[in-house]
Amino acid sequence: MKKKGLKSILENKLVLWIIVLIIGVFFFALVYYLCFQFNTSSFIIDPQYNQKINRINTIQDEYDLYTIEDREEIPFTIDEYNSKIRHIHEELIQTRIIDSITNRLKIIDDSLHYLCSIIELSREYETQKYVREKAQIIKDSIRIQTKLIDSIDKIEHKNSKLCELLQAQYIKLNYLEYTLAKINLESYQYILDHYSGFGNEEYKNCYSELQNAQIQL
């Protein structure tokens, strides 16, 4: 008896939940239907589309279409109505044009960032090459001078003339190192003053063209 009573209670609860669920479904369906009748585009996600469609729907409210029979004459002409529709249509087209321009601007902006990094890399390469070429002759002289000093240093028994020669070669080496430092300083100063002149010309021209297109858009 207890088992049967428990079973009947469970069955009654299940039936009750099913009834509640059915009522809830019908309730939300009714709410959805009323909202849809009130604004047919309320369930469309695109806000710009909603805005345009709602404006079209408000034409009826603006001209009070449902009370025309109470008036002596129609409150607007067909041409006025068509003009209103045409104006809204032009706004829709303009919105698509703006969206297209926005997408193009994003593509150009991404391309400019990429080109900027490429130009910077090419400038880095060219500036290093510039410094290296300017200092190459002095570096070769320093290398020769260093080998000469090493060869004199290898002589075990040095007389006074060799010591004087070694000292003179060290002085010459120091002067070459000073000249190298001066050339490097002048090279870096030139790079700072003419930095925009470095870099791949093809990439820089493309960068300028994209910037002009960006300004025009």
Q: Report yes or no on 171 lying in a domain.
A: yes
One domain for residues 133 and 208: yes
Q: Report yes or no on 126 lying in a domain.
A: yes
Q: Report yes or no on 67 lying in a domain.
A: no
One domain for residues 116 and 199: yes
Residues above pLDDT 90, as percent of the chain: 15
34-48, 119-133, 138-152, 162-176: which range is least confident on average? 34-48
pLDDT in tens, 63-109: 444 444 444 455 556 666 667 667 766 766 677 777 788 888 888 88
Helix then strand then coil, % of the chain, to nearest 5? 85, 0, 15
Q: Report yes or no on 93 lying in a domain.
A: no
Q: Is the pLDDT of residue 59 over 50?
A: no
Residue 9 phi, psi (nearest 5):
-65, -45
Query: What is the domain range of residue 140?
Result: 103-217
One domain for residues 124 and 201: yes
Summary mean pLDDT of the chain = 75
At residue 19 the predicted structure's pLDDT band, cuts being 50, 70 and 90, is confident
Q: How many domains does the chain have?
A: 2
- What is the per-residue pLDDT for 63? 44
Overall average pLDDT of the 145-150 stretch: 89
Q: Report yes or no on 53 lying in a domain.
A: no
Q: Report yes or no on 98 lying in a domain.
A: no
Q: Is the pLDDT of residue 209 over 90?
A: no
Overall average pLDDT of the 56-69 stretch: 45
Q: How many of the other CB atoms lie within 10 Å of CB of 123?
A: 19
- What is the per-residue pLDDT for 1? 47
Q: Report yes or no on 65 lying in a domain.
A: no
Q: Is the pLDDT of residue 41 over 60?
A: no
At residue 4 the predicted structure's pLDDT band, cuts being 50, 70 and 90, is low
One domain for residues 114 and 217: yes
One domain for residues 118 and 207: yes
* Integer CA distances (angstroms), 203 to 110, 210, 217, in order: 15, 11, 21
- The residue type of 96 is R
One domain for residues 34 and 116: no
Q: Using an 8 Å Cβ cutoff, are 111 and 210 in contact? A: yes
Q: Is the pLDDT of residue 189 over 90?
A: yes
